[in-house]
Amino acid sequence: MRPIVIPFHKFLVSPFFKQVSVTRSPPVPSVLVTVLIFAPLFGAIIERVLMRRLSDAPLVAKLVVTIGLMVALMGLAVTVWNPNVARSIPTFYGTDGFTIGSTCVPWFRFITSVTGLLRAVIIRIVLYRTRLGVAMRAVVDQRELAALNGARPGLTSSFAWGLGTSMEPLESVRTGRIVTTNPELDF
């Protein structure tokens, strides 16, 4: 049985999109284009160009390639954006919020929590209640057996990488206010 590979697209793409969202404070249409078009294509290209060629390689080779890709993307982000400049993202609805008992909950924290939970529920539904989710899990466990049962491993892997990389810009925007880059803290 083939070991389950950790979803490295989170570590590969997140630093790059985090830097984009922190440095630019992008408008909503560009975020939607990034999340819905650019990021899934980027993930599918990574799967098609790099990971598909490594499908029969040892697990160590897959790990080395994905870590190398992560370092390359982080290097690209550092090259494009000066890491010695402190950056922050304005919060949703400023500092306004609501009160629960004696605790004031800012809107940006509430929105961050709700969108995180919503994303987790949607991914759970996709993975366990749809044919595509079952195929994705089958391809991870036994690629050849999944193909014998009618799944399309290449297309399924491309979709999984696209889904993972499309979640990262959302995560960067969602947690951008909570986790900011600061040169004094070496982030």
Task: Give the whole-angstrom CA distance, residue 69 versus residue 73.
Answer: 6
Position 144 in a domain? yes
Task: Tell me how many domains the chain contains.
Answer: 1
Residue 185 in any domain: the answer is no
Q: How far apart are CA 71 and CA 64, in angstroms?
A: 11
Is residue 19 within 8 A of residue 86, CB to CB? The reply is no
Instruction: Give the CA count within 13 Å in the CB-facing half-sphere of 84.
Output: 0
Give me the domain span that covers residue 161.
9-176
Is the Cβ–Cβ distance between 39 and 165 less than 8 Å? yes
- Residue 183 in any domain: the answer is no
Which range (67-76, 126-135, 161-170) has the least confidence?
161-170
The pTM score is 0.68
Q: 90 or 127: whose pLDDT is higher?
A: 127
User: What are the φ and ψ backbone dihedral angles of 99, each rounded to 5 degrees?
Assistant: -115, 135
1 is a domain residue = no
Contacts of 36 (CB under 8 A, 6+ apart): 166
Q: What is the pLDDT of residue 62?
A: 87
pLDDT recorded at residue 8: 42
Say if 151 falls within a structural domain.
yes
Per residue in 114-145, pLDDT (tens digit) is 888 988 898 899 999 999 999 999 988 888 88
Q: Is the pLDDT of residue 12 over 50?
A: no
pLDDT exceeds cutoff 60 at 25: no
Here the tokens at position 158 are: 């491309």
Identify whether 186 is part of a domain: no
